[in-house]
Amino acid sequence: MEKETLDKLNSFLDENRGKRKFSQSVELSVNFHGIDFNKQDNRLNMDVMLPNGKGKASGAIVFADDKNIASSAEQAGAKVIGSAQLPSVATDKAALNELLSSDLLAQPNLMPQIAKALGQFLGPRGKMPKPIAGSNVAAIIGNAGKSLHIRSKGKYLPTINCMVGTEKMGTPEIAANIDEVVGALSKKVGKQNIKSVYVKLTMSKPIRIV
């Protein structure tokens, strides 16, 4: 991020920090032009690893029957849901809401069962769990907390919105997260197709930084 833009972001955050009784999220809006997102090939569906994380823990839920995966997940602080619990989770409103606010991971061979039980609920919300790839379950859970999923939504309007931190984070950390997201999007769609970039806090007006 160029110094002028970084200074602008820092002034904006300083003006708006601490004005609410809760920790506000820092939200990024990226607008595109020259891309028809109604075409399936152009739609965004990607993960970006934020170098400084999201600024708050969302908690993790791991779908697993394998004892080693379940034990490692619990030791890492995650909640474990076995395949036998899927039908009851699918009809429990509180449990479904917990899924939406958590990072979701799954034992790979359980994905078909999860899709059958929860796909209608999680799929449209972009919250289907990611299959666990590798044996270091604790590291996978830790990385999930830093991973940001970006996907085209709704009527495939030429814009995406995502969280890149909280007001409690330092400006350089937030700026690095923004750079990572914008860089990943530029690589995906071409820098020339990014029309503008805005930043706002949960309850603030947005400012344009690109």
Domain extent for 66:
60-144
Q: How far apart are CA 119 and CA 113, in angstroms?
A: 9
Report helix, strand or coil for 120: helix
Would you write out the chain's pLDDT as a tens digit for each of its 210 residues? 999 999 999 999 999 998 899 999 999 999 999 999 888 889 898 999 999 999 876 789 999 999 999 999 999 999 999 999 999 999 999 999 999 989 999 999 999 999 999 999 999 888 999 999 988 999 999 898 899 989 887 677 899 999 999 999 999 999 999 999 999 999 999 999 999 999 999 999 999 999
pTM of the model: 0.82
Taking alpha carbons only, the member of 146, 139, 83 closest to residue 116 is 83
Q: How far apart are CA 26 and CA 173, in angstroms?
A: 11
Side-chain-side CA neighbours of 95 within 13 Å: the count stands at: 12
Going by their DSSP bridges, the two strands 147-151 and 25-32 should be labelled as: unpaired
Are both 183 and 121 inside the same structural domain?
Answer: no
Are both 152 and 50 inside the same structural domain?
Answer: yes
Are both 36 and 14 inside the same structural domain?
Answer: yes
Beta bridge partners of 31: 159, 196
